[in-house]
Amino acid sequence: MNSSTVASPVYVDRRGNSYETRPGKAYPFGAYLTVHGTQFSLFSRHATAVSLCLFEDSADSDPALEIPLDPELNRTGDCWHILIHGIGAGQLYLYRVDGPFEPDQGHRFNPFKLLLDPYTKALTADSKWEMNQALGYDPNSPLKDLSRSETFDGSRFPKCVVVDDENFDWQGTRPLNYPLQETIIYEAHVRSLTKHPSAGVANPGTYRGIIELIPSLKRLGITSLELLPIQEFDEDEYSHRSNPETGKPLTNYWGYSTLAFFAPKATYAADGQRGEQVNEFKEMVRELHKAGIELILDIVFNHTGEGDQMGHTMSFRGIDNSIYYLLSPDNRRYYMNFSGCGNTLNCNHPVMRGLIIDSLRYWVQEMHVDGFRFDLGSILGRDEYGNLMENPPVLDRIAEDPVLRDTKIIAEAWDAGGAYQVGSFPGGRWCEWNDRFRDTMRSFWRNDPHQVSKFATRLSGSSDLYKWDGRKPYHSINFLTAHDGFTLNDLVSYNSKHNHANGEENRDGSDNNNSYNYGYEGETNDPNIVLTRTRQIKNFLASLLLSTGTPMLLSGDEIRRTQYGNNNAYCHDTELAWLNYDYEQKHPDILRFTQLLIQLRKKHPVLKRQEFYVGRDLSNNQVLDINWYNEFAQAVDWHRSENLLACRIDGSMKEIHSQKDDWDFYLLFNPGLYDQYFTLCDPPKGQHWTRIIDTSLPSPEDFREPGNEEQLIGTRYYLVESRSMVVLISQR
C-alpha cells in the first residue's frame, strides 16, 4: 500500500490550485526534490495523526493547504510520508502532529501547534519565533499542564523551505581536509568577524561578509576557520531581558540553542527568504576553499532550544518528545538537564543517532564542510538514563563513518552534568579541546609556583592525556582563549569578570580565569603596566603556536580585541562582541608578531610533530629528541617552585619524522619578576645559535624575520628579562 505508484487523493488549496499526490516513501527524511515534485517524510512513532501544511507566504498565519496523511497510504512503520506533484524549491511548509497528551509518560502532542521539520534544510528569515508563554507546566498543580493549547499565531513562526541542493556550481572545489598537524584554527563568529563598521564590508554580519574578509584571513596565515553555531536558532530567545546598562533587549548571539540541524542561519545571509541562505553558505565555503582555508562548524547536538518542561513546543517535543529527549525516569514530565539549558537530547537512541549522522553527512557532502567541533561532547556519550557509556554508539559511529573519515571531529570533552573526559573521550580518532593546556599556560605565565612540570608536559604535546590510547599530539586542540571566557587582551587586564551587562547581576560566566591585571583593573595608560601586558600577550601567543599539538586562536586576539572584562558575551550582538579592525592600527606589533609566529610554525616540521617525544637520541647525534634544562643548562628539578625553564628540540629528520633536517630550537622561559641569565648548551657541530624571538624587546626586534636573525656566535649566556621568553635556532 505504500508504493509511490499508488494514487492518493488530489487536494485543492484556498486559491483553487490542485495538487496531485502519491503515497511517497519512508526515506530519506525531510523534503527532497524529485522529477515529479517534492517527497516529504517525517518520523513519529507515537503520533496518531500527521498533517503536512503548505504555506504561500512566510507571514501567513494559516496554511493555504493542509493535507492529512492517511495512515494506510502515507505511513510505513514510524515514518509518515507523501509525494506532492508540481511542488518545487521555495515551497514553504510545516507539520501538525497529534497523539497522546500524557506528560507524565513523556508524550506532549499538540494538534494546535505548527511544527518545524527536524530535517528541514532552510527556514524563512523574516518571521519571529512564536513564543506563547502559556505553554508550560503549572508546578502548583501536578495534574494540570497547560502545554496543550489552541493559542498559536503561525504568522510569528518561521516556515520550512524546500531546497534544491543539486544545482550549485562548486567550480571544482572540494573539502580541503588538511592533516591535523598542518592545521591552525581560528575560532570566530559570523557577525563578530564582519559586523563592525571598521570591517568595511558591503554585507556586514553575513556569509558574504566573510568572503570579503578572506584576504585578511590569508594575511594572518590561519588554515582553518571555525565558526560558532550557524545552524538555525532563535536569536530573540533572550529579548524579554534587557541590558541594565543600556536598557536594550538582549539576544541569543552565540547561537547555542539549535532548532534545525540541517539549516544554515537565514539571518546570516544577505538574502535568506526562500532558501537563498543555502547558496550563500555554499558560496562562502567555496571561496574559503579557493583561498586554501578550511571551514569547521561548532555544532550543538546536546540539546535544543525548546527548553525544559516550561519551554516551547517548536519541533522535536511535538513530534515525539519521548524519543528525542532524555526524560526523568521518576517522572517523564521532566527533562534531564546535562546541558545546563533545560533539556538533553537522547543522542544514543537509534532515531536521534540517525539524525546526527544524516546531519553530519549532509554538511560534508552537500555543504563541503571540513570538520566539526561538538559542543558539550560528553553528552553524546550518555545512555537513555543519563549514564556515561564505555563505548557510546553515536561516538563510535561518527569516528568510523565512511563519509566522515577525512573530516575533523573535535570534542568539547565535558558537559554541565559533571562529566569530564579530557584525555579519555571515547570513540577512537577524536580530537579534544585541551582545557588543561589553557589552564597550565595561564598559571605558568602568571608565575604561580610549581608549574614547570605541567608546563613542560603541555608544551610538548600532553602525552599524559593522549598517548595511552594510541592518539597523537595533534589530537590535542591547544587553546588559551575561546568564545567562552576572557579575550587574550582581557586575560592580562582584569582580575575578575565584569558581566553586569548580561543582566544576571554578574553571576554568570566562570570565576576561575587564572587572569591577572598587573596592577590596574581594565584599560590604563601606565607605561609599566602597558609594557608588561604586551610582553605577556606575546608570551602567550608564542607558547600557543610553538607548542606541540593543534593550535586554536580566538579571533581578534591577534589585534588585542577587548570585551572590557566580560567573559560571557553570549547575549550581545553589539560592538562589545564585534571585532573592531581599528585595533590593527592600535596594536600592529601584536598582529605582526602573530603573523610571523604562524609563518614560523607552518614552515618548520619540528614544530608540527606527528609523534610524541620519547626522550631518546634516535638519530645518534648525542642530542635527545627534546632536552629540558634549568637556567644553568643542567637537569631540571621538576619539583622546584621557581618557573625557570629551557628546552632544546632536535631538528634531525629522524627525530621529527620528516624528509629533511630542520633547525634545532632552543626555548628559554622566565615568567618570574626578575631578569635571569640562562646558560646555553652547545649548538650542533659547525653551527651557532641565533635569536629569532625575544618578547621583552619592542617590535620589530621582538621577532627577527628570516634572513635577519641575530647571530650569537660564541655566546654562552643569554639574559632573559622578567616575564619574557626567547627562541633561538641553530644555523651554520
Tens digit of pLDDT for each residue in 542-567? 999 999 999 999 999 999 999 999 99
CB 641 within 8 A of CB 660: no
Q: What is the pLDDT of residue 130?
A: 57
Confidence of residue 1 (pLDDT cuts 50, 70, 90): very low
Q: What is the pLDDT of residue 659?
A: 86
Residues 39-85 pLDDT 10s: 999 999 999 999 999 999 999 999 999 999 999 999 999 999 999 99
> Is the residue at 621 inside a domain?
yes
CB 264 within 8 A of CB 278: yes
- Residues 6 or more apart whose CB falls under 8 angstroms from that of 256 comprise 229, 233, 300, 341, 375, 570
pTM > 0.75: yes or no = yes
Q: How far apart are the first and last CA of the chain?
A: 81
Confidence of residue 335 (pLDDT cuts 50, 70, 90): very high
Q: What's the rounded mean pLDDT across residues 120-137?
A: 65
Q: What is the pLDDT of residue 654?
A: 87
Confidence of residue 151 (pLDDT cuts 50, 70, 90): low
Strands 665-670 and 724-731, how do they pair?
antiparallel
Q: What is the pLDDT of residue 133?
A: 36
Could you tell me the residue range of the domain that residue 696 belongs to? 613-731
Residues 655-702 pLDDT 10s: 888 889 999 999 999 999 999 999 999 998 889 999 999 999 999 999
State yes or no: is 439 an active-site residue: no
CB 132 within 8 A of CB 151: yes
Q: Which of 497, 562, 503, 567 is nearest to 248 (CA)?
A: 503
> Is the residue at 702 inside a domain?
yes
Query: Residue 143: is its pLDDT beyond 50?
Result: no
Phi-psi region of 625 (alpha: psi -120 to 50; beta: other; left: phi over 0): alpha
Q: What's the rounded mean pLDDT across residues 422-451?
A: 97
> Is the residue at 58 inside a domain?
no
Q: What is the pLDDT of residue 43?
A: 98
CB 729 within 8 A of CB 664: yes
Confidence of residue 147 (pLDDT cuts 50, 70, 90): low
Q: What is the pLDDT of residue 5?
A: 56
State yes or no: is 375 an active-site residue: yes
Higher pLDDT, 239 or 360: 360
Q: Which residue has the cell 595533534?
A: 474
Which of 276-285, 589-598, 610-619 is the least confident region?
A: 610-619
| 730 phi/psi in degrees, rounded to 5 | -95, 130
Identify the helix (H) or strand (E) that includes residue 410.
Answer: strand 408-411
Q: Tell me, what amino acid is at 58? A: S
> Is the residue at 700 inside a domain?
yes
Surface-to-core class of residue 447, CB atoms within 10 Å of its CB (0-12 exposed, 13-18 middle, 19+ buried): middle
> Is the residue at 617 inside a domain?
yes
Question: Which among 130, 320, 358, 375 is annotated as catalytic?
Answer: 375
The CATH number of whichever domain residue 667 belongs to comes to 2.60.40.1180
Which grid coordinates belong to 78?
A: 514510524
> Is the residue at 526 inside a domain?
no
Query: Residue 272: is its pLDDT beyond 80?
Result: no
Q: What's the rounded mean pLDDT across residues 80-96?
A: 96
Q: What is the pLDDT of residue 448?
A: 98
| 610 phi/psi in degrees, rounded to 5 | -100, -10
Confidence of residue 273 (pLDDT cuts 50, 70, 90): confident
Confidence of residue 6 (pLDDT cuts 50, 70, 90): low
Confidence of residue 267 (pLDDT cuts 50, 70, 90): very high
> Is the residue at 459 inside a domain?
no
Q: What is the pLDDT of residue 33?
A: 96
For residues 117 and 95, what is the distance between their CA atoms, to the nearest angstrom?
Answer: 7
Q: Tell me, what amino acid is at 252? A: N
pLDDT-above-70 percentage for the chain: 95
> Is the residue at 166 inside a domain?
no
For residues 246 and 253, what is the distance between their CA atoms, to the nearest angstrom?
Answer: 17
Question: Which among 412, 557, 631, 655 is annotated as catalytic?
Answer: 412
For residues 333 and 120, what is the distance between their CA atoms, to the nearest angstrom?
Answer: 27
Residues 490-503 pLDDT 10s: 999 999 999 999 99
Q: What is the pLDDT of residue 2?
A: 47
| 399 phi/psi in degrees, rounded to 5 | -65, -35
CB 718 within 8 A of CB 680: yes
Residues 340-387 pLDDT 10s: 999 999 999 999 999 999 999 999 999 999 999 999 999 999 999 999
Number of folded domains that form the chain: 1
